[in-house]
Amino acid sequence: MDKVFQSVFYLFLIIILVKLSQFAYRVFRERKYMKELAQSGMPYIDKMDGYQFEIYLKALFQQLGYKPQVTQKSGDFGADLVMKGKDKIVIQAKRYGVKNRVSLSAVQEVYGAKAYYKANQAWVVTNSYFTKQAKELAAACDVTLVDRADLQKFINEVNPVFKAREIFENITPEPRKCPKCGQDLVVRDGNGTRFFGCSSFPSCRHTEKINKEVSKSRPSV
Ligand SMILES: [Zn+2]
């Protein structure tokens, strides 16, 4: 009788251990998967142009429960997004190369936008980092700086189904002219990479990256 009881007990113990390790493995795999998905956004953000980045931020902040609006291209008074809600927040978006830090002027502009839009908060959001001067001024003017690490935290908070890749591939970047011949540039797809090519191809063979940094993309009034 004791032996029967013992073997039943051991069998039971083994079943529990197997179930537990299966459960632990599932939790581990799910966490890893979520983390990977969340982090998968940044490489696509790095490839976007300024306009695609604004659309991405609009989608991101919507997921986070804000009500963002992309402002008109001309006369945006220093705000790329205006978020309405309990607090009104104006945002200036800077999609830069990681080595290119966001300077003081972004802080000045969004500070002006805060007054113009009668907002309670002003943010500068970038996939890059800020210069020391920008940080100093932001601290003095109560402007919130969201750098690459902070942006990653926001991305980690949202539903992992949400992907930067879809925006990069489906949203048309802001129109540009060819610097060589003055014709329109058009988005082309070659070997899985998207880039701008001249519309007068093949007579003009100019191409450039979508995330090419233009010194001043919009007129500052
Ligand atoms: Zn051209």
- Residue 34 confidence (pLDDT) above 80: no
pLDDT score of 70: 87
Q: Which helix (H) or strand (E) holds 126?
A: strand 121-126
Residue 217 — pLDDT band, cuts 50, 70, 90?
very low
Least confident of 74-88, 106-120, 132-146: 74-88
Residue 124 — pLDDT band, cuts 50, 70, 90?
very high
Residue ranges of the domains in the chain?
41-170, 175-211
Least confident of 28-32, 122-126, 160-164: 160-164
Q: Which residues keep their CB under 5 angstroms from ion ligand 1?
A: 178, 180-181, 183, 198, 204, 206
Q: What is the DSSP letter of 101?
A: -
Q: How far is the CA of 186 from the centre of ligand 1 (A)?
A: 10
Quickly count: other Cβ atoms within 10 Å of residue 168's Cβ: 24
The conformational region for residue 78 under phi > 0 = left, psi -120 to 50 = alpha, else beta, is: left
Mean pLDDT throughout 49-60? 91
- Residue 219 confidence (pLDDT) above 50: no
Q: Determine the 3-state secondary structure of 144 from DSSP.
A: strand
Mean pLDDT throughout 37-52? 81
pLDDT score of 41: 82
Q: How far is the CA of 132 from the centre of ligand 1 (A)?
A: 39
- Residue 38 confidence (pLDDT) above 70: no
Which parts of 129-210 fold into alpha helices (H)?
132-141, 148-157, 164-170
Q: How far is the CA of 149 from the centre of ligand 1 (A)?
A: 38
Among the four given CATH numbers 1.10.760.10, 3.40.50.2000, 3.40.50.300, 3.40.1350.10, the one describing domain 41-170: 3.40.1350.10
Q: How far is the CA of 219 from the centre of ligand 1 (A)?
A: 23
Q: How far is the CA of 179 from the centre of ligand 1 (A)?
A: 7
